[in-house]
Every structure is written in structure tokens, then in C-alpha cells.
Amino acid sequence: MNFLDALHTSSSGLSAQRTRINVISSNLANINTTRTPQGGPYRRKDVIFKSIIPQKSFSNMLSSQMRSGVTQVQVAGISSDPRPPLMKYDPEHPDADAKGYLALPNINMIEEMVNLISATRSYEAGVTALNASKSMVMKALEIGR
């Protein structure tokens, strides 16, 4: 693995985790949203990741796969949670149905906070890997002096 492969791999992970943190933040911000432009309560969102092989010439790609199998991560999409909304009896709320039930987003704050901590730790690990790569290059440059 060369220096640029390490940088590209780390930066792709940082970008993917940043998207994940933004989606989790949106879930937490909309935990009580009962009305959306699409109608109904806010639907919890999840980020879907996929691994990609860096774009190179065929011979470079073949030799890199034979050596290390380095891949990067990319956000494949953002999906809505298929679980039904939580129903709460609140006949005074303006968004309640005819029976007095209010549809609330099916978002568990504890689950979202655990996901946020996991994404933050993954982001920090990516920053650490990026800094380690930078430090190795700086040490290699100092050897040449």
C-alpha cells in the first residue's frame, strides 16, 4: 500500500462516517416530528455503506488486489426504517387521528446515541490513521536530510 492509497482509504471512511453522523443527528432532531411534507410522522433513516475498489488502470488494480486488497468505503444510500410508527393516545394533539391516536416516529434515543458514539469513534479512528500516515511520510522525508 502506498501513501496515497492510505490517504484515500482514510478519507473515504471519514466522509462516510460524517454522513452517518449527520443522518443520526437528523433522527435525533426529528424524534418528536409528527407531520412531514410527505405526510405522517418522520421516518428514521439509516446509512448504507458499500466497499469500492479505487479507480485505477487494469494492471494497477490487478497488482493492488494481488498485494493487499485495499478498498474504500462509500455511502450507497440512505434508507427509511420500515417499522411502523408508535401510536400514542393524545386526543388533544392537532395531528391525532379520529380515534385520538397520535403517530410518533419510531426512534429510540438510546439506540441513536449508541449509533452516534459508534460513528464518532469510527471517525476518530480514521483521523488517527490519517495522522499516522502523515507522520510516517514526515519521518521518511526527514531520513533524506
The rounded distance, in Å, linking the Cα atoms of 138 and 124 is 21
pLDDT for residue 55: 63
- Give the best-scoring range by mean pLDDT among 80-84, 91-95, 116-120, 138-142: 116-120
Q: How many domains does the chain divide into?
A: 1
pLDDT for residue 59: 66
Give the three-state DSSP class for 16: helix
DSSP for 86-127? EEEE-TTSTT--TTSEEEE----HHHHHHHHHHHHHHHHHHH
Asked if residues 74 and 50 have their Cβ atoms less than 8 Å apart, the reply is yes
Q: Quick one: pLDDT band at residue 117, thresholds 50, 70, 90? A: very high
Domain extent at residue 85: 3-143
Asked if residues 46 and 23 have their Cβ atoms less than 8 Å apart, the reply is yes
Indicate whether 66 pLDDT > 80. Answer: no
pLDDT for residue 140: 86
Asked if residues 105 and 42 have their Cβ atoms less than 8 Å apart, the reply is yes
C-alpha grid cell, residue 66: 494481488
Of 41-45, 88-92, 124-128, 138-142, where does mean pLDDT reach its minimum? 138-142
